């Protein structure tokens, strides 16, 4: 058997990163070299997995918890910031409902938690509510609903952003209810909304369906209240002030 090149051997052994990193590892002795080399291979694999999970999740922007200001957020008495940031809510299959004023960081927090979950190797999907409903309706029409539901079944965290901006038709509301019902006590959902629960029937259209959906969402949930001035507005206003002072 002819001898394969290092690159070919690594490919056969599925050690994809070693050919490009082996020269960067310092060698003091053989065991240390091999240990550091394999550690670098494992690290590169993990980073690639996280990149893939983040891409697959479909976040609208990259947001982090480092840049998050908790001031607009009121937590329930039995919830700590750590319960959220350390993702214990995902471990416990609990939900997070971020409700309140526009521009106060609901989507920012949802994305930052989602990205942290990806960094722990968890599978996440981010949807604007209307996009999720449209995807469900489209799959239903094409006879592929089972497939989409099965895909969501494998996800550990589903983020449904902006529930409430656009009212849903009955079929859409029912399909959304199915997603929530399927996830109930089995995986976590984060919902963001400008609406208080009392107004959700204006979006979902049907009082019984709204009650059943809220019931499943809040049963094991951290309900966060967001209050205060919109960050977007504050930024726009401070830009005007800066422009005026420059004139
Ligand atoms: N508490 C916060 N800490 C850090 N940045 C924030 C905060 N709130 C808002 N921002 C920033 O302001 C912008 C708007 O925030 P975001 O989209 O999260 O608001 P929202 O509450 O989801 O608003 P809406 O109800 O309109 O969807 C983003 O760029 C976000 O990073
Ligand atoms: Mg938002």
Q: What is the pLDDT of residue 240?
A: 72
Q: What confidence tier does 204 reach under pLDDT thresholds 50, 70, 90?
A: very high
Is residue 211 predicted with pLDDT exceeding 90? yes
Mutate to test the pocket of ligand 1, among 61, 69, 104, 127 (most ligand atoms within 8 A of CB): 104
Mutate to test the pocket of ligand 1, among 70, 72, 103 (most ligand atoms within 8 A of CB): 103
Backbone angles phi, psi at 168, to 5 degrees: -100, 150
Assess if CATH 3.30.9.60 describes domain 58-234. Answer: no
Cα 68 to ligand 1 centroid, rounded to whole Å: 9
Closest CA to 129 of 76, 81, 82, 60: 60
Tokens matching residue 154 = 């494998």
Q: What is the pTM of this model?
A: 0.91
Mean pLDDT of 46-66: 97
CB atoms within 10 A of CB 42: 11
Q: What confidence tier does 242 reach under pLDDT thresholds 50, 70, 90?
A: low
Percent of residues, the chain, with pLDDT higher than 70: 97
Taking CA atoms only, the protein residue closest to ligand 1 atom 12 is 231
Whole-angstrom distance, CA of residue 237 vs CA of residue 107 = 21
Cα 106 to ligand 2 centroid, rounded to whole Å: 5
Reported as a single tens digit per residue, the pLDDT across 153-183 is 999 999 999 998 888 999 999 999 999 999 9
Percent of residues, the chain, with pLDDT higher than 90: 87
Q: Could you tell me the residue ranges of all domains in the chain?
A: 6-56, 58-234
**Quick one: which atom of ligand 1 is closest to the CA of 73?**
1
Reported as a single tens digit per residue, the pLDDT across 104-160 is 999 999 999 999 999 999 999 999 999 999 999 999 999 999 999 999 999 999 999
Mean of pLDDT over the chain: 94
| Residue count (the chain) | 247
Task: Check if the beta carbon of residue 195 is closer than 8 Å to that of residue 221.
Answer: no
Task: Check if the beta carbon of residue 94 is closer than 8 Å to that of residue 222.
Answer: yes
Strands (E), the chain: 73-74, 95-100, 124-128, 157-163, 188-193, 221-226
Task: Check if the beta carbon of residue 188 is closer than 8 Å to that of residue 87.
Answer: no
């Amino acid at each position: 058997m002819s001898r394969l090149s290092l690159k070919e051997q690594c490919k056969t052994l599925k050690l994809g990163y070693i050919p490009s990193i082996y020269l960067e590892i310092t060698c003091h002795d053989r065991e240390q070299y091999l240990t550091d080399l394999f550690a670098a291979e494992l690290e590169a694999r993990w980073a690639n997995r996280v990149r893939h999970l983040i891409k697959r999740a479909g976040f609208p922007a990259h947001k982090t918890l480092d840049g998050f200001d908790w001031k607009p957020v009121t937590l329930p008495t039995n919830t700590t910031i750590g319960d959220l940031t350390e993702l214990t809510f995902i471990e416990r299959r609990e939900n997070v409902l971020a409700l309140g004023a526009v521009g106060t960081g609901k989507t920012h927090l949802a994305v930052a938690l989602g990205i942290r979950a990806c960094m722990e190797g968890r599978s996440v999907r981010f949807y604007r509510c209307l996009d999720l409903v449209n995807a469900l309706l489209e799959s239903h029409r094409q006879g592929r609903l089972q497939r989409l539901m099965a895909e969501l079944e494998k996800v550990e965290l589903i983020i449904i952003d902006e529930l409430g901006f656009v009212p849903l038709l009955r079929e859409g509301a029912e399909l959304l209810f199915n997603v929530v019902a399927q996830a109930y006590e089995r995986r976590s959902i984060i919902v963001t909304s400008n609406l208080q629960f009392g107004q959700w029937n204006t979006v979902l259209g049907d009082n019984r369906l709204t009650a059943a959906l809220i019931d499943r969402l809040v049963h094991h949930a951290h309900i966060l209240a967001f209050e205060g001035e919109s960050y977007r507005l504050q930024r726009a206003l401070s830009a005007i002030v800066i422009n005026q002072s420059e004139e």
